[in-house]
A and B are shown apart, each in its own frame.
Chain A
Amino acid sequence: GENVEQHPSTLSVQEGDSAVIKCTYSDSASNYFPWYKQELGKRPQLIIDIRSNVGEKKDQRIAVTLNKTAKHFSLHITETQPEDSAVYFCAATIHGQNFVFGPGTRLSVLP
């Protein structure tokens, strides 16, 4: 079955700097890769996703890149702000099937 690894487990950046979180997956058939953000004490929420037929997707300050050959995908946050502090989860799935989540990355944006 699918296995998703995520690095780093914790990440601290200065406000205004960029943050990058990387995930690798094992099943080459996976074709949908969402990212969820969980603020402290709250529920996870989808922030961006990418399908296997696309190499990059952007939404304002966040972007996701996908390298199908290497089986890895990354979340990029630019101009980080305190409200970006949260736990971020990547996931991989074959479309319509269940997600396999990574273990999460705790991002802290320092003022």
Chain B
Amino acid sequence: DADVTQTPRNRITKTGKRIMLECSQTKGHDRMYWYRQDPGLGLRLIYYSFDVKDINKGEISDGYSVSRQAQAKFSLSPESAIPNQTALYFCATSDLSGEKLFFGSGTQLSVL
């Protein structure tokens, strides 16, 4: 089945380290998104991309960077990991309607 895959599922890192969260999809969707989930705050948009040459900041982009390597790949990097970036991160895709989001299985990031 076409899916959205995130790697790694869990990552523990230290303050100041540079890491990368990766997302790949086999749905053939052009639109890809990175969300952050914190208890009581819902899902907040970090960055989104409507095609390979299009990258846009979301609600909480400060401290993060992204790369759209191909239609199927969208990666997220905390620029220099800090403890308040500890959260559950979801990648998502949608077709051109932008209506239905398909989420990956999530990456739990812990910054010590």
Main secondary structure of the interface of B (DSSP, over half): loop
Total number of B residues with any Cβ neighbor in A under 8 Å? 19
Bound-state CA distance A49–B23 (Å) is 26
Bound-state CA distance A4–B45 (Å) is 14
Total number of A residues with any Cβ neighbor in B under 8 Å? 23
Would you call B105 an interface residue if the criterion is a C-beta within 8 Å of the partner chain's C-beta atoms? yes
Supposing A98-B48, A98-B58 touch, asked if A44 and B98 sit within 8 A by C-beta, the answer is no
CB under 8 Å from chain A, chain B span 21-56? 33, 40-45, 48
Bound-state CA distance A6–B58 (Å) is 21
Contact B105 A43 (CB under 8 A): yes
In-complex Cβ contact of B98 among A46, A89, A95 (8 A): A95
**Nearest CB on B from A61, distance (A):** 20
User: Chain A residues with Cβ under 8 A from B98's Cβ?
Assistant: 93, 95-98
Supposing A43-B104, A98-B48 touch, asked if A34 and B99 sit within 8 A by C-beta, the answer is yes
Encode A14-31 as 1/0 by CB contact (under 8 A) with B: 000000000000000000
User: Chain A residues with Cβ under 8 A from B44's Cβ?
Assistant: 101
Q: Which of B40, B41, B42, B104 has the most CB of A within 10 A?
A: B42
Binding site for B on A (CB under 8 A): 4, 6, 9, 32, 34, 36, 42-46, 49, 89, 93, 95-99, 101-104
Known: A43-B104, A49-B100. 11 other contacts (CB 8 A): A44-B43, A44-B101, A44-B103, A46-B100, A89-B42, A89-B43, A95-B99, A98-B45, A98-B58, A102-B42, A103-B40
